[in-house]
Structure 1
């Protein structure tokens, strides 16, 4: 939990690292497309679960939320509260990735204020620097949230660098959601050594591309893009909570 890239090489790498489940949540992609691709790459040895990492709020002050178990699409750039309410309505598991990382994350106060609807906080992210992961662990401990670990792989080589062990059989999307929303024991795990550190630094360096204004301007401010709240696919359902 979770990856941004999915192809044959990613699946092979996941299996080689003895992973049983991948949560696939690419940026700026609608849920039906995510679900179709997840289904394509799932088999008896690896379950790929579709999810959405929703960008809430305006671009300059966005807070990411990872929702697993959605039944209906949710756009980016809606209010933080609007996203939480919609996730709760759909019965999704709500996770906080990379808390207090740069300007793309939930704060300690956000987690504490909404602990009734948040199900877990990421305590190790392969894209984060060591001090950022230490802060994430502190936030989870101080707010009493269960933790999870993630490769957050935008690069295929990062798959399997960090993961979460869950003391439950996870053979369906519903089983994962149930495990995340209950007190099932889990822990974040990661690889060690210089190769791991170098791969994590490569992931961190990818942020420069991922967050460029040119990319945002091209993708999101026209209103015609897949996860823009004004897209015809959402039928105006999020007009009251959209920020663009």
Structure 2
């Protein structure tokens, strides 16, 4: 099964993507599942789960969010209530596990990543389509040296990049099976780097959103 485990919706302050548009694009791209992991909120993913069922789409949507910790970003899967931001990386991992979730170190070698603390997470994002300066290579090396499962995602903020980064998961099409497969390392990360044109599009849209808010 192919999952894009890192997509942002308009529930994040840096994306304008509507939930329904994300779901339809994911199906169009041939994905079996996704996670809408907005910054510090599960609301987008919960709406995605509901809308996928209402639209009767062949798409498994996992609950999750991308949490800002004091050391860097952490993707949390399998939780349906918000975990507070600005806690330590290790405390956020502890709370995630306490609630039955899976903690994934997002883009560990980007400026907002956790760096070598990523090895304490349940899995490491070793392919992120927006990592264009060798960060993925460093993340993969660390995951292999620490024996951590590897996942991939697009980190999409615009429709055209959904599915560029993905995780192949050896699991059945249900949440429990997928989360177990990630914990056990029955995964493989892959994909392609975001085109420069898409980076430009995202930057321009981000500027317009900031201007509009002002």
Q: TM-score range by the shorter chain?
A: 0.7 to 0.9
Query: What's the counterpart of residue 78 of structure 1?
Result: 87
TM-score (norm 1): 0.71
Alignment gaps of 5+ in structure 2 = 10-17
> Deviation at 1:46?
0.8
> 1:10-89, aligned counterparts within 5 Å?
10-29=22-41, 31-32=42-43, 34-42=45-53, 43-57=56-70, 62-89=71-98
Deviations 1:47-93 (A, max 9, x none): 11120111112xxxx41111111143212112223212211211211
Where 2:189 maps in the other structure, the secondary structure is: strand
Q: 1:151 to 1:7 in 2, by over 3 A?
A: same
Counterparts of 1:90 and 1:207 in 2: how far apart (Å)? 36
For the pair shown, the structure with the greater C-alpha radius of gyration is 1
Q: Distance in 1 between matches of 2:31 and 2:133?
A: 24
| Aligned counterpart, 1:139 | 142
Quote the offset at 1:3 in angstroms: 0.6
Q: Distance in 1 between matches of 2:201 and 2:88?
A: 28
Q: Aligned match of 1:152 in 152, 155, 164?
A: 155
Question: Could you say if the C-alpha distance between residues 33 and 166 of structure 1 is closer, same or farther in structure 2, counting changes exceeding 3 Å?
Answer: closer
Contact 2:8 2:157 in 1 (8 A): yes
C-alpha distance in structure 1 between counterparts of 2:43 and 2:195, whole Å:
35
Structure-2 change in CA distance of 1:199 and 1:21 (3 Å): farther
Deviations 1:144-173 (A, max 9, x none): 21211101111111101111111222x222
> For the residues of structure 2 that align with 1:167 and 1:187, how far apart are their CA atoms?
9
- Is this contact kept in 1: 2:168–2:189, CA < 8 A? yes
Which blocks of at least 5 consecutive residues in structure 1 are unaligned? 219-244
Secondary structure of 1:100's counterpart equals coil
Match in the other structure for 1:4: 8
1:163 alignment partner, one of 163, 166, 179: 166
